[in-house]
Amino acid sequence: MSIINAIGLMSGTSVDSIDACVVTFEDNNSVIKIKKIEGINYPISDQIKKGIFNLFEDREGSLKNLVLMNNLLGELFSDAVLKLLKYTGLVSGEVAVIGSHGQTIYHIPEKREFCGQLVRGSLQIGEASIIAQRTGIPVVSDFRPGDIAAGGSGAPLVPFFDLLLAENFSGNTAFQNIGGIGNVTFIENGDVLPVAFDTGPGNMIIDRLVSDFTEGELAYDKDGEIGKKGKIQKDFLAKWMQHLFLLKKPPKSTGREEFGTLFFDKYLKGITVTEDLIRTAEEFTAMSIVQAYESHLTRLPSTLIINGGGGHNPVIVDSIRQKLKGCRILTGDEAGISIDYKEAAAFAIMGYYALQGKTNNIPSATGADRKAVMGKLSLP
């Protein structure tokens, strides 16, 4: 048995900050026991955030800007690690590996016709070689292509970590992340083959509406304060709930490609943003999550653990609670998992497995044909 420190780095679809955490754990013949998770949020400037969003939109000059942003984010992730080391009192030699998810720029989970062939792919940036050189720590990055090469969609990946965490809970347990996108991992009575998929929008639509409503002063609905003042607009909600992604069967994953600009152009073009509209978007997130459970799980969970930024929004959490009566609902902090750093922690552990040459995907979640070692190694 040995005590290991690994660092996880994550920047999600909301691009609000870099989540950086140290996971301290025991490795007893591949039985992982988490001892501690310590993390920081490293800010992303408005200028860099704007540059990333321009890449999402594939605007003129994107190829050049993509190359430069890849290296710029490598520097930013490096700074986050160095700040994290100072915060925790660790030195580079005490950290086995950094698992860096990076920043997703484009995700195509389903095969499309391209140049006469059917292909799919996913692109995350944040140059790992720079992180390794700046920190002196081996870096495992670019996880999704390993699953795609094995026949999967490259998402969701966090179920691998959820399966480890599930050993601490009994019964039918669901782990729901509400980041920019929502995703769930459902483990029925300790089953080793979890059901996992993206449930639909998380905070992505809400965040943009809040930014528009406050003319850029706020980036999200802190504690649901704006949504609490609004009323649900049932006509909008009914249309949104017919979104084709919600009707698809798992395995499935989504992103800004479906719930970003395309969603706004189709459903909200020219619409004045109000408190009612923000409340409706929060209800959309909650309802899409519950509908996903009712449609795609063999049974409803007895325990639901909510992580990600949406776990801080009581409007969303309370709505889910009202719809899932009889289900014990906990935030990640209440469950001892860390509401803010769970995803970053997952990539720390996946990076460690990759460093050991061990498989770290869940084919039942991604649709892959086989287990695979995901991630590419960059040495300092």
The CA distance from 121 to 152, in Å, is 10
196 & 137 share domain:
no
Rounded CA separation 138/373 (Å)? 16
Clarify whether residues 216 and 82 are in a common domain: no
Same domain, 325 and 348: no
**Statement to judge: residues 323 and 227 lie in one domain:** yes
The closest of 39, 12, 23, 73 to 350, measured between CA atoms, is: 23
Cα–Cα dist 96/103, whole Å = 22
In a domain, 165, yes or no: no
Number of folded domains in the chain? Answer: 2
Per-residue model confidence as pLDDT tens digits over 123-176? 999 999 999 999 999 999 999 999 999 999 999 999 999 998 888 887 899 999
Q: For tokens 């490259």, what's the residue? A: 154
Q: Is residue 148 located within the same domain as residue 11?
A: yes
Domain-located, residue 145: yes
Number of helices (H), then strands (E), in the chain: 14, 12
Query: In the block, which residue shows the tokens 């509209």?
Result: 277
φ, ψ for residue 96, nearest 5 deg = -70, -40
Same-domain check for residues 32 and 112: yes
The verdict on 203 and 254 lying in the same domain is: yes
Strand 376-378 relative to strand 195-201: parallel, antiparallel, unpaired?
unpaired
pLDDT of 1: 64
Give yes or no: residues 135 and 220 share one domain: no
Residues in the chain, overall count: 380
φ/ψ bin of 357: left (φ > 0), alpha (ψ from -120 to 50), beta (otherwise): left
pTM higher than 0.75: yes
Both 294 and 347 in one domain: the answer is no
- Residues 219 and 30: their CA atoms lie apart, in Å, by 41
Q: How many Å apart are CA 351 and CA 142, to the nearest integer?
A: 10
Q: Give, in order, the Cα–Cα distances in Å from 281 to each of 14, 81, 209, 275.
A: 15, 34, 8, 10
Domain that holds residue 43: 2-154+341-378
pLDDT in tens, the chain (380 residues): 689 999 999 998 788 899 999 999 999 877 889 999 999 999 999 999 999 999 998 888 899 999 999 999 999 999 999 999 999 999 999 999 999 999 999 999 999 999 999 999 999 999 999 999 999 999 999 999 999 999 999 999 999 999 988 888 878 999 999 999 999 999 987 677 889 999 999 999 999 999 999 999 999 999 999 999 999 999 999 999 999 999 999 989 998 889 999 999 999 999 999 999 999 999 999 999 999 999 999 999 999 999 999 999 999 999 999 999 999 999 999 988 889 999 999 999 999 999 999 999 999 899 999 999 999 999 99
Residue 185 sits in the same domain as residue 285: yes
Domain assignment present for 370:
yes
Is the residue at 162 inside a domain?
no
* CATH code at position 353: 3.30.420.40
Whether residues 238 and 349 fall in one domain: no
Q: What is the pLDDT of residue 170?
A: 79
Tokens of 251: 């395995």
Q: Are 10 and 351 in contact (CB under 8 A)?
A: no
| Among 296, 313, 331, residue at a domain's last position | 331
pLDDT score recorded for residue 29: 78
Residue 291 CA to residue 247 CA, distance in Å, equals 10
Hunting for tokens 């996946």 — which residue is that?
350
Other Cβ atoms closer than 10 A to 150:
20
Six-digit token string for 204: 């992505």
Give the per-residue pLDDT at 190.
66
